[in-house]
Amino acid sequence: MAFGKNIRTFWQGRWHDGDIAVMNAADHGIWQGTSVFDGARWVDGMCPDLALHCARVNASATALMITPTMESAEIEAIIRDGLRPYGPGQAVYIRPMYWAIDGGELGITPKEGSTAFAISLEEVPMPAATFQTTVTRTKFRRPVLEDSVCNAKAGCLYPNNARMLVEAKSKGFGNALVADAMGNLAESATANVFLVRDGVVFTPTPNGTFLAGITRARHIANLRADGVQVVETVLTFDDAHAADEVFLSGNFAKVTSVRAFDGTEYRSRSMTERARSLYWDWAASQA
């Protein structure tokens, strides 16, 4: 079931109104989990970093041994055409997707060149700028590249994220901060994480256990261009408790303020709001 409304689907070379069926029961992607996607946003006529999201879905497909069938520029052009019916007050979640159709040897590996492609557009409002979440620790960890495709935005990774969220919700929190295989801070269950201490912004260094997001990179560039020191380093959960403020970074909400981490309450939101303002100013300059 979709989580948005006013859905449009690109399938077999054209746009369709509604959430149409695109996958067959025997498709490799449904029973072996060989599917990848990417997410972008259309807000007030702006599609920040759309080209990078389109390029990443192809990179994710290659990492999962699925053969991409579209050039990233072609995907971008199709998306922009599909967005035409939406009005300026509608926020849209953009999701290009690949999955394997046929299996190779023993049915386990995806067959080279046997690939399906679709795009889903869903009207989903942006979270309010005043929204804040709370986070807690989770017993579940991020995998490593040796045992999972951490270098892809793959559907098969998300059940692990889902159980992190379910655990957090069962404890009365909105999200979870997640450890990597070494027990250090990696990200949240849904987005990358930034800590702020004495005016300096810190974020976990990419170590192959989590996807260092496109929006994360944009925040780092924007903040540095505005004179803020941003440090990518190894961080612990003690660092999160000692921070002045914490915010999450992902494509869906762009910036999410964290009000509390377990017993720690954060009083400041100044850097969070600075990052948000810089992001949308940058996005407007690109529109």
Tens-digit pLDDT string for the chain (287 aa): 578 899 999 999 999 999 999 999 999 999 999 999 999 999 999 999 999 999 999 999 999 999 999 999 999 999 999 999 999 889 999 999 999 999 988 889 999 999 999 999 999 999 999 999 999 999 999 999 999 999 999 999 999 999 999 999 999 999 999 999 999 999 999 999 999 999 999 999 999 999 999 999 999 999 999 999 999 999 999 999 999 999 999 999 999 999 999 999 999 999 999 999 999 999 999 97
Q: Is there a single domain that holds both residue 115 and residue 207?
A: no
- Contact predicate 202/194, CB 8 Å: yes
CATH number of the domain that residue 104 is part of: 3.30.470.10
- Contact predicate 203/193, CB 8 Å: yes
Q: Which of 102, 123, 144 is the last residue of a domain?
A: 123
Q: Which of 74, 94, 123 is the last residue of a domain?
A: 123
Q: Is there a single domain that holds both residue 147 and residue 268?
A: yes
Q: Which of 123, 143, 170 is the last residue of a domain?
A: 123
Q: Is there a single domain that holds both residue 157 and residue 89?
A: no
Q: Is there a single domain that holds both residue 119 and residue 174?
A: no
Number of domains present in the structure of the chain: 2
Strand partners, 196: 201, 245
Question: Beta strand 200-204 with 192-197: parallel, antiparallel or unpaired?
Answer: antiparallel
- Which uninterrupted H or E stretch holds 11? strand 5-11
Domain that holds residue 216: 132-286
- Contact predicate 9/118, CB 8 Å: yes
pTM for the full model?
Answer: 0.95
Q: Is there a single domain that holds both residue 278 and residue 170?
A: yes
| Residue for token pair 């998300």 | 158
pLDDT tens per residue, range 36-90: 999 999 999 999 999 999 999 999 999 999 999 999 999 999 999 999 999 988 9
Q: Is there a single domain that holds both residue 101 and residue 177?
A: no
CATH number of the domain that residue 244 is part of: 3.20.10.10
Q: Is there a single domain that holds both residue 203 and residue 235?
A: yes
Q: Is there a single domain that holds both residue 158 and residue 119?
A: no
Q: Is there a single domain that holds both residue 245 and residue 105?
A: no
Structure tokens at 208: 């192959």
- CA-nearest of 19, 256, 58 to 153 is 58
Q: Is there a single domain that holds both residue 191 and residue 273?
A: yes
Q: Is there a single domain that holds both residue 187 and residue 63?
A: no
Phi/psi at 201 (nearest 5 deg)?
A: -100, 130
Q: Is there a single domain that holds both residue 140 and residue 265?
A: yes
